Amino acid sequence: MTFRLTFCSLIALAAASPALAEPVFNRIASFATLDNMAEGEDRTRATSAEIMTATPDGNRLIYSDSPLGAIGLIDIANPRAPKPLGNIAMDGEPTTTVVLGETAFVGVNTSESFTKPSGVLRSVDLESRKVVANCDLGGQPDSVALSPRGDMIAVAIENERDEGVNDGAIPQMPAGFVVRLPVKDGAIDCAGKQVIDLTSLAEVAPDDPEPEYVDFNAQGDLVVTLQENNHIVVIGADGAVASHFSAGSVDLDGIDIDKDGKLDFTGSLKAVPREPDTVAWLDDDHFATANEGDWQGGARGFTIWNRDGTVVHESGAAFEQALVRIGHYPEGRSGKKGVEPEALKYAEFDGEKLLFVGSERGSAIGVHDVADPSAPKLKQILPSGIGPEGLVAIPGRNLFASANETDLGEDGGARAHVMIYERAEGVPAYPTIASEDLLGWGALSGLTVDPADPAGLYAVSDSAYKDQPAIYRIRSGQPAAITDKIVVTRDGAPASKLDLEGIAADGEGGFWLASEGDAEKQIPHQILHVDGKGAIRQEVPLPEALTAQATRFGLEGIAMAGDGTLWMAVQREWKDDPKGQAKLLHFDPATGNWSGVRYPLESGEGWVGLSELTIHGDRLYLIERDNLIGQAAKLKQVTSVALEGLEPAPLGGELPLAEKRVERDLIPDLKQWNGYVQDKVEGMAIAPAGTVWTVTDNDGVDDASGETFLWSFTLGTQTAAK
């Protein structure tokens, strides 16, 4: 499958008429794990949603929360309004939970150290919320699996390595193994525990197997991944090793292999070990692995295998490249494991055989049709929150859910979340924008309308790609299409020392760009004039009277008025501004004169500032927002200032205070994708007829979900266009 076919399939789904629309998944709700904290608990504490399962009736989700040493429960009887059911303490680090009836079986790591691993399987009565039994596992548990017949539990005893010893290389004793536990009358038969030795099988560190993940097929056979050993083992229903083989290696072309502030997908890696993480049976003869990789750049994809070790399908770089095209590529992981496929789930929905592949670092989930295991077809990519670790399919209710482990609350970022999706006829709500080719994009921070085509836009990316600043040509649609990437150059080379936050078409085929500036990174506060090919023709520094009062938070938008002069927004107060006021700067390219006014900012939690500025008719339009995310976000709005009567004064003296008008609350718009509210609404452009285009900055997928939302509405309305 080619990537253009992937893009075209998205377009085809979006264009399908309701009568012909096929079932797709769309996110319908999100749940922050902090909501499971009891009243009075410290909600600033880190939480997590890692491996997750559902109760047999599909009405409750149970996830592992290792920072809290608990399992968290969510009521999804109404999946569009999930309710917290609280946490149950596990007296250790929970890893994986499986459920039979009203009993949850939880693998719990109780290890004293890496060299003295230990763990138990705790039986939790879900009605009483009490631990009713414990079974010593003899080592540190990772994955836990329940057989389809409900008569056997298997546990991967990883006895993981200490990554601080010998650069994390194995062997590091003691060796791991697999435990099988019979289940009788809904309870564990701990006395019947069977330990399955996996030593002497792998070519890599054969004395130190580290089983990562286990899964049962319908016949009771187990497949086990040894990620660090780059090996796969199949254990028969009798508990004996039936076969084992190396996971082998893969050649990768068309990937970014350097963490260098650029998006460059011309690199290659040869003979990269797959080092599979999660594994899932597709049927009794085929299984799939998510090849997260560990060393040598990461395998970055997934593989479908025959149980005898024959490769049926290798995705190679295809999965990663599909994420590149929707802006979910984590450039900061280029030198390691790229998008790091880790989570995996197979399920049948109304006879449709689907394989879900979660990208830990790309924070997205690929949905593949695997009716023919040798030729999977990518159907959708779902936005997931940060770091999808656990995937749950509930076909009987047409639901799917992801557990996203990363919690950035201590740094003011997004909290760990569980996302819930529903399968129904319709069109995918995500992505809202994708590139037609493997251009590489993200961190969109400013918009302007194409003067030659009111349905077209241009965007710029910010310093997330510090050595490849770029202008993107966008064709509106559902999803919108990035059709071209113009790298901004200085003397023929990609320009450095820029943090582009604003763009305005100059009406002559070129652009004015606003660079925010950052003294600590030696990025100057300035505006630039570039031609249609991105070559810098003029660099205009801000006057010294301004920069002497500057802070980190500089220019965040630029627009050209009908008389050829330029207006710019400064994000926050500078040293010479009264509290709660930021500058709107005015520049006349013909004379070189600078002047300005002050803008009254709202007050709020965190900080409040300006993120964009554009002109439509006789008014300046601005985005004013707080820097808060998720439940904490309170202020994301469009405001305007009348140009008539606005008299900018010379800099260095008293500046007049502009009078603003609130035009639209953007928080309801940001909630339409049913995730958490994104903090960075960064770009806005208004077409001549009054259509307003707005876009979020995905931070280059660095400690962010990678989600980019591009949407439109009409001036004077409050309901966004879909």
Q: 371 — phi, psi (to 5°)?
A: -55, -40
pLDDT at 8: 52
Query: How many CA atoms lie less than 13 Å away from 323 in the CB half-sphere?
Result: 34
Measured CA distances, 60 to 31, 187, 498 (Å): 13, 20, 49
How far apart CA 534 and CA 509 sit, in angstroms, is 10
> With 80 as the cut, is the pLDDT of residue 718 above it?
no
How far apart CA 693 and CA 687 sit, in angstroms, is 8
pLDDT tens, 680-709?
A: 999 999 999 999 999 999 999 999 999 999
Whose CA is closest to 423, among 443, 401, 447, 449?
A: 401
pLDDT tens, 342-372?
A: 999 999 999 999 999 999 999 999 999 999 9
Q: 3-class SS at 158?
A: coil
Cα-only R_g, the chain? 27
Helix (H) or strand (E) holding 627: none
> With 60 as the cut, is the pLDDT of residue 10 above it?
no
Residue 414: CB atoms within 10 A of its CB come to: 25
Residue type, 704: A
CB–CB of 436/481 below 8 Å?
A: yes
Query: How many CA atoms lie less than 13 Å away from 78 in the CB half-sphere?
Result: 5
Whose CA is closest to 183, among 140, 145, 142, 234?
A: 145
Mean pLDDT of the chain: 94
How far apart CA 705 and CA 698 sit, in angstroms, is 7
Whose CA is closest to 646, among 615, 668, 623?
A: 615
Which residues touch 555 (CB under 8 Å, ≥6 apart)? 501, 502, 514, 515, 516, 517, 525, 527, 542, 568, 569, 570, 571, 585
Q: What is the mean pLDDT of residues 168-195?
A: 97
> With 80 as the cut, is the pLDDT of residue 489 above it?
yes
CATH dotted code for 434-714: 2.115.10
> With 70 as the cut, is the pLDDT of residue 721 above it?
no
How far apart CA 237 and CA 540 sit, in angstroms, is 73
How far apart CA 655 and CA 664 sit, in angstroms, is 27
pLDDT at 519: 80
> With 80 as the cut, is the pLDDT of residue 722 above it?
no
Residue 130: CB atoms within 10 A of its CB come to: 10
Tokens for 240, please give them: 């004996």
Which residues touch 538 (CB under 8 Å, ≥6 apart)? 528, 529
Query: How many CA atoms lie less than 13 Å away from 50 in the CB half-sphere?
Result: 20
CB–CB of 503/448 below 8 Å?
A: yes
pLDDT tens, 494-545?
A: 999 999 999 999 999 999 999 998 888 889 999 999 999 999 999 999 998 8
Measured CA distances, 81 to 392, 394, 420 (Å): 18, 17, 10
Neighbour-count burial for 599-624, b at 16+ CB within 10 Å, e otherwise: bebbeeebebbbbbbbbbeebbbbbb
pLDDT at 317: 97
CB–CB of 663/617 below 8 Å?
A: no
Tokens for 522, please give them: 């030696």
Find the helix packing angle between 3-15 and 318-325, rounded to 10°.
50
Distance between first and last Cα of the chain: 29
Whose CA is closest to 543, among 501, 593, 472?
A: 593
Give the pLDDT band (50/70/90) at residue 414: very high
Q: What is the largest CA-CA distance in the chain?
A: 89
Which residues touch 628 (CB under 8 Å, ≥6 apart)? 412, 604, 605, 606, 634, 679
Which residues touch 414 (CB under 8 Å, ≥6 apart)? 385, 386, 406, 407, 408, 629, 630, 676, 704, 705
Give the pLDDT band (50/70/90) at residue 16: very low
Q: In the chain, where are the structural domains located?
A: 434-714
* pTM attached to this predicted model: 0.96
Q: Where are the alpha helices (DSSP H) in 471-610?
A: 544-547
CB–CB of 247/310 below 8 Å?
A: no
pLDDT tens, 98-149?
A: 999 999 999 999 999 999 999 999 999 999 999 999 999 999 999 999 999 9
pLDDT at 1: 37
CB–CB of 537/591 below 8 Å?
A: no
Using DSSP bridges, classify how beta strands 103-109 and 93-100 pair: parallel, antiparallel or unpaired.
Answer: antiparallel
Q: What is the mean pLDDT of residues 320-338?
A: 96
CA dihedral 700, 702, 706, 710 (to 10 degrees): -40
Give the pLDDT band (50/70/90) at residue 15: very low
Helix (H) or strand (E) holding 311: strand 311-314
- DSSP conformation class of 105: E
The total number of residues shown for the chain amounts to 722
